[in-house]
Structure 1
């Protein structure tokens, strides 16, 4: 403050003194202790102010002014200075840096304010006792727009180095925001490298696209097909990107590959290569695929028919024969079916399991076919029966219905889930032990599942 000091001290009421709107320090902090000291001892160090119409603005002493107002102090001693706007800002920057360090952004905004008022980089550097590079770096940081600064509450804690990087992408808010979010973390360098790669790839793409636009390249440049993987004329044959070398090197590489055509794919910054389709070969390929689809559909249809027929046969047998099976055998079967489904074999466990029965995710319809009890009455009837001495019969019915509901047509394929295949074959062993006789088609399909299980077990042993 020595360059702008005044020998004149004037008593001014605090109600006439305002904080300076250009004060670099945006947060003056808690002044409670200072207010208590001023209330007890008075203001020992005068404020420095400049006239502002009939009022005054603080140049040095914003915290003291706030503390005086908080302490209820009336008139306070002030140095009244005659400074132009640039001198006011210079004085405030000097005052703040001497008393307590400004945040990087506060200092950057203040320095930019001085430059905006006509100060040169050299004069600001001289005034602050800093290098010209120091001033230029803060000026770059000050260019970061307010909307980017608002993306995080601690933006003012970002280091000057990272602020300079963020400022580099002025006019690119998405990239600035990505960098701002990563600032202060180990992810910052990764995000920066990603952005630099994006820029490099974009520059490469613009250059190679311009080269390909020259008719003398010897390459057939076509518009990017709307359906790149299903175009009637062109067959996709790969791509090249920025990693392939400089645009000139990429051009030579494309000439060596001699594609029938190339296109520029802007969204991916890549060059697509194309071969002209052989219509006869394409037609033959389509016929082959159609035949494969037809064969697949036929296999699916056959499995669906078999699955429905075999399920009907099993449930009809259970409906006709469960009542004749002895109680001891039913109890044993209950345990086996319960273990097969990882269901608690205790009767209460079955009753609780019924809480999952609804039209979406359980086997009411299968239960009806096995017991003859309507699907609507299934939960109530089963719950009641499980509380009687006949609970083993009901438990077997419930568990069998759950398994029947669980089996899908695709589960009978040798490409199905091996774990489900194990359940199906184990279920059939239980039924056979009860007296069920599988038909020839069932035996055949069970053989297919057993072969798939054996193969899976062998592969597991080899892996181990």
Structure 2
């Protein structure tokens, strides 16, 4: 502002001074306290104005002018400057930026105004004492249209990073509005990444499509995927993750499809259907599926039968087991279950009993107490001298609840505990059936193999 300062001060009535229409600062705020100070002490710092016909426009001191008018002040001292429109805007921007009175968007609009009046990026950067990138970013933010800004009342308070991201999608107001709504929330980065990914995918599919229709490429590009056409068979699909558009074209060429279609940012490859081969393949798939279904059904039947056998034995025998052995079983079951992927562990046995799940039904099979009465009965029994019996029942019921059929064939956190659970039951007197022993042996072998593979992988990583 100092470069435009005049040494000549003139008294001008506030009724002749108007706010500048291009003032970057759109909201001057509450000037009540400033008006009271001016009323008591007078205007201590002159305004800077430019002539406007028979009137004047304020360049520096919009808040002071508003306060003077509110205080009823008559003539005020003013520096009268001779500035062209670009210099006027430059002076207002410089003053407001130095005083940090502008929002990022107000500053952006003002900088764009200076550029529109002929200033260069370098000129503006020099006058503001900022970098060229600083100016360019704000010029980008200024390009955001009114309809996008109107999506939220506090749009002017967004950060420059958010504004530049929104401005990047100029001409696509739907995306800009999505970003504007997400700005200032934890969803902004997530929304931006999704938009960027979708944009990359769109560009990728457009490039692939352009390569597919190049002369002499030999591709049969059809308009829509022939999903329901019995003469076509799905051969494969190319995604943006396949590689560059050129790499995708080479992979399509290697598969030599009879036709190619594009749908939903993906390239579908199609072959003419060989009905005899397809029928044979379908029959093989059906046979394999039937075999899988049979194995799954057999496993489900085994799991249900073995669970019923265990719980029936517990129901019939726990009462006859000595107290010290039950205390030991409680400790072992607790230790077996306490390190667990679920919050609170298996041993957190009562807190999930809010309905007939959460091991209530298993508890009923073991104790004979109805599922509805389980929480009350368990809490009462745990406070008596028979608490070891009750604790063993609760922990066993809890374990039975967690064992699913697939735990017998899949190595996971639950299946790893099944052999230990059986050992505890056997030490209490339980005798597994031959079928249970076979399944246990297979499960232990699978766990051993998984641990061996994991150890080998660790050794390779440590080498």
TM value normalised by structure 1? 0.69
- Residue 449 in structure 1 maps to residue 448 in structure 2: no
Q: Please tell me whether the aligned partners of residues 260 and 274 of structure 1 are also in contact (alpha carbons under 8 angstroms).
A: yes
Q: 1:303: which partner in 2?
A: 299
Alignment of 1:3-402 (within 5 A): 11-12=12-13, 14-15=14-15, 17-26=17-26, 36=37, 40=41, 42=43, 45=46, 48=49, 58=58, 62-69=62-69, 71-76=71-76, 89-90=85-86, 92-93=88-89, 95-96=91-92, 105-111=108-114, 121=118, 143-148=143-148, 152-154=155-157, 170-173=170-173, 201=204, 204-205=207-208, 207-208=210-211, 211=213, 218-225=218-225, 227=227, 233-239=232-238, 258-265=256-263, 267-268=264-265, 271-342=267-338, 353-402=349-398
Say which one has the larger Rg: 1
3-state SS of 1:275 partner: strand
RMSD (CA atoms)? 5.2
**Partners of 1:219 and 1:418 in 2: how far apart?**
48
**Partners of 1:193 and 1:385 in 2: how far apart?**
60
Q: 1:118: which partner in 2?
A: none
Q: Please tell me whether the aligned partners of residues 225 and 262 of structure 2 are also in contact (alpha carbons under 8 angstroms).
A: no
**Partners of 1:374 and 1:309 in 2: how far apart?**
21
Q: 2:427: which partner in 1?
A: 433
Go from structure 1 to structure 2 and tell me whether the alpha carbon gap of 1:257 and 1:334 turns closer, same or farther (over 3 Å shift). closer
Deviates more, 1:103-112 or 1:291-300: 103-112
TM value normalised by structure 2? 0.69
TM-aligned CA deviation for residue 362 of structure 1 = 2.1
Go from structure 1 to structure 2 and tell me whether the alpha carbon gap of 1:386 and 1:171 turns closer, same or farther (over 3 Å shift). closer
Q: Please tell me whether the aligned partners of residues 50 and 56 of structure 2 are also in contact (alpha carbons under 8 angstroms).
A: yes
3-state SS of 1:392 partner: helix
Go from structure 1 to structure 2 and tell me whether the alpha carbon gap of 1:365 and 1:256 turns closer, same or farther (over 3 Å shift). closer
TM-aligned CA deviation for residue 167 of structure 1 = 6.3
Q: Please tell me whether the aligned partners of residues 39 and 71 of structure 1 are also in contact (alpha carbons under 8 angstroms).
A: no
TM-aligned CA deviation for residue 70 of structure 1 = 5.2
**Partners of 1:351 and 1:273 in 2: how far apart?**
53
TM-aligned CA deviation for residue 406 of structure 1 = 2.1
TM-aligned CA deviation for residue 438 of structure 1 = 1.8
Go from structure 1 to structure 2 and tell me whether the alpha carbon gap of 1:30 and 1:243 turns closer, same or farther (over 3 Å shift). same
**Partners of 2:447 and 2:251 in 1: how far apart?**
50
Q: Please tell me whether the aligned partners of residues 258 and 271 of structure 2 are also in contact (alpha carbons under 8 angstroms).
A: yes
Tell me the alpha carbon deviations over residues 404-434 of structure 1, each in whole angstroms, 9 at most, x when there is no partner.
Answer: 222222222xx32344233222222222222
**Partners of 1:377 and 1:311 in 2: how far apart?**
22
TM-aligned CA deviation for residue 314 of structure 1 = 1.9
**Partners of 2:400 and 2:254 in 1: how far apart?**
62
Go from structure 1 to structure 2 and tell me whether the alpha carbon gap of 1:425 and 1:291 turns closer, same or farther (over 3 Å shift). same
Q: Please tell me whether the aligned partners of residues 112 and 142 of structure 2 are also in contact (alpha carbons under 8 angstroms).
A: yes
TM-aligned CA deviation for residue 448 of structure 1 = 1.5
Q: Please tell me whether the aligned partners of residues 207 and 245 of structure 2 are also in contact (alpha carbons under 8 angstroms).
A: no
How many residues are paired up? Answer: 424
Q: Please tell me whether the aligned partners of residues 316 and 370 of structure 1 are also in contact (alpha carbons under 8 angstroms).
A: yes
Q: Please tell me whether the aligned partners of residues 350 and 395 of structure 1 are also in contact (alpha carbons under 8 angstroms).
A: no
**Partners of 2:41 and 2:389 in 1: how far apart?**
93
Go from structure 1 to structure 2 and tell me whether the alpha carbon gap of 1:226 and 1:197 turns closer, same or farther (over 3 Å shift). same
- Unaligned stretches of 5+ in structure 1? 115-120, 344-348
Tell me the alpha carbon deviations over residues 166-213 of structure 1, each in whole angstroms, 9 at most, x when there is no partner.
Answer: 86754233566799979xxx99xx99997995685466356336x36x
- Unaligned stretches of 5+ in structure 2? 340-344
Go from structure 1 to structure 2 and tell me whether the alpha carbon gap of 1:79 and 1:232 turns closer, same or farther (over 3 Å shift). same
**Partners of 1:409 and 1:192 in 2: how far apart?**
42
Go from structure 1 to structure 2 and tell me whether the alpha carbon gap of 1:88 and 1:158 turns closer, same or farther (over 3 Å shift). farther
Deviates more, 1:94-103 or 1:449-458: 94-103
Go from structure 1 to structure 2 and tell me whether the alpha carbon gap of 1:156 and 1:309 turns closer, same or farther (over 3 Å shift). closer
